[in-house]
């Protein structure tokens, strides 16, 4: 088994007719904090993937190892997963160009073990008759044509974008209504009640009158502070008035200390 620093060396050819091959290197994706979408026990980490490799061609080449759940391409190794565009027509994903690294996530851990036991003398084939890789002039021709989207598909995706936007705004509005304001209050949207009948008015009348007489004294923190300041100010004024009264009595010699 040919290995280089824990990487298994695997030969890869573009097609059966190719006279030359390249080498790719793979090993289990083992990191300290793996992303849930790249579980260590099911993910194969691959280096040196040629520029012509696509998700479909890599899936075909590795299909003998087991069912593949997902494939990720990156320019360099990373533990993260780049979120794919929800609206590929209006906001297409940027393709990874040139040589790249890949993360192949299998459905089960047994497939990963099978890949690690792949004989080094064997060669993987990227392009087959059943699933050929489009290359050369034809590739650029297809890429050019794919830039043009039908008005029907574009209109459909635009409607999905607006629907997603409106739903997101509704969620933000609902969350904002549950956040307390500067005074600590939370706005509560009450449902409309049915119009009261004469009988219900008679039952609830006295209670409503009593509620109107209630006052929210010292309810807020600033009200408590204002009340305390008012009491201190009244005590200070009384102390000053008592001092003035004593001075007046002392001047009129009516003040007799004990």
Scanning the structure block, which residue is given the tokens 């040589």? 99
Instruction: Pick 156 or 201 by higher pLDDT.
Output: 156
Region 128-140: mean pLDDT is 86
Split at pLDDT 50, 70, 90, the class of 151 is: confident
> Is it the case that residue 161 has pLDDT exceeding 90?
no
Asked if the structure places residue 50 within a domain, the reply is yes
Among the ranges 126-135, 200-209, 242-251, which has the highest mean pLDDT value? 126-135
The pLDDT, as a whole number, for residue 189 is: 59
Asked if the structure places residue 243 within a domain, the reply is no
CB neighbours of 1 closer than 8 A, spacing ≥ 6?
A: 8, 120
Task: Give the 3-state DSSP-derived string for 185-233, with helices as H, strands as E and coil as C.
Answer: CCCCCCCCCCCCCHHHHHHHHHHHHHHHHCCCCCCCHHHHHHHHHHHHH
With CA atoms as reference, report the closest residue to 125 among 254, 12, 10, 223. Answer: 12
CA distance 82 to 129: 32
The pLDDT, as a whole number, for residue 119 is: 93
Question: Residue 44 is inside which H or E element, if any?
Answer: strand 43-49
Instruction: Pick 258 or 133 by higher pLDDT.
Output: 133
Region 2-22: mean pLDDT is 91
Split at pLDDT 50, 70, 90, the class of 223 is: low
Asked if the structure places residue 144 within a domain, the reply is no
The pLDDT, as a whole number, for residue 231 is: 78
> Is it the case that residue 115 has pLDDT exceeding 60?
yes
> Is it the case that residue 129 has pLDDT exceeding 90?
no
Question: Residue 45 is inside which H or E element, if any?
Answer: strand 43-49
Asked if the structure places residue 232 within a domain, the reply is no
> Is it the case that residue 40 has pLDDT exceeding 90?
yes
Which range of residues forms the domain containing residue 85? 3-133
Split at pLDDT 50, 70, 90, the class of 197 is: low
Asked if the structure places residue 114 within a domain, the reply is yes
pLDDT tens string 55-101:
999 999 999 999 999 999 999 999 888 877 777 777 777 788 899 99
> Is it the case that residue 202 has pLDDT exceeding 80?
no
Q: How far is CA 47 from CA 75, 133, 189, in A?
A: 10, 20, 56
Region 105-120: mean pLDDT is 96
Asked if the structure places residue 88 within a domain, the reply is yes
pTM of the model: 0.59
Asked if the structure places residue 159 within a domain, the reply is no
Task: Give the 3-state DSSP-derived string for 81-100, with helices as H, strands as E and coil as C.
Answer: CCCCCCCCCCCCCCCCCCCE
Number of domains in the chain: 1
Q: How far is CA 209 from CA 168, 206, 215, in A?
A: 43, 5, 13
Region 102-126: mean pLDDT is 95
Asked if the structure places residue 67 within a domain, the reply is yes
**Domain with 28 in it: what CATH number?**
3.30.70.330
Percentage with pLDDT > 90 across the chain: 38
């Amino acid at each position: 088994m040919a290995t280089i620093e824990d990487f298994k060396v695997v030969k890869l050819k573009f097609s059966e007719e190719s006279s030359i091959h390249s080498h790719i290197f793979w090993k289990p994706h083992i990191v300290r904090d793996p992303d849930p979408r790249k579980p260590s026990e099911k993910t194969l980490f691959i280096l040196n993937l040629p520029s012509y490799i696509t998700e479909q061609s890599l899936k075909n080449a590795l299909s003998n190892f087991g069912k593949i759940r997902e494939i990720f391409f990156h320019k360099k190794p990373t533990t993260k997963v780049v979120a794919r565009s929800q609206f590929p027509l209006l906001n297409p994903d940027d393709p990874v160009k040139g040589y790249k690294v890949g993360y192949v996530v299998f459905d089960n851990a047994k497939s990963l073990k099978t890949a690690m036991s792949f004989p080094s003398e064997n060669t993987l084939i990227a392009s087959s008759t059943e699933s050929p890789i489009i290359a050369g002039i034809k590739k650029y021709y297809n890429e050019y044509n794919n830039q043009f989207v039908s008005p029907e598909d574009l209109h459909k995706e635009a409607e999905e974008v607006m629907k997603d936007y409106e739903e997101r705004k509704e969620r933000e509005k609902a969350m904002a209504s549950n956040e307390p304001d500067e005074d600590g209050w939370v706005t509560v949207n009450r449902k409309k009640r049915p119009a009261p009948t004469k009988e219900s008015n008679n039952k609830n009348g006295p209670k409503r009158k009593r509620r109107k007489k209630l006052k929210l004294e010292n309810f807020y923190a600033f009200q408590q502070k204002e009340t305390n300041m008012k009491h201190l100010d009244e005590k200070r004024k009384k102390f000053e008035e008592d001092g003035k009264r004593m001075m007046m009595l002392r001047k009129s010699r009516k003040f007799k200390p004990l």
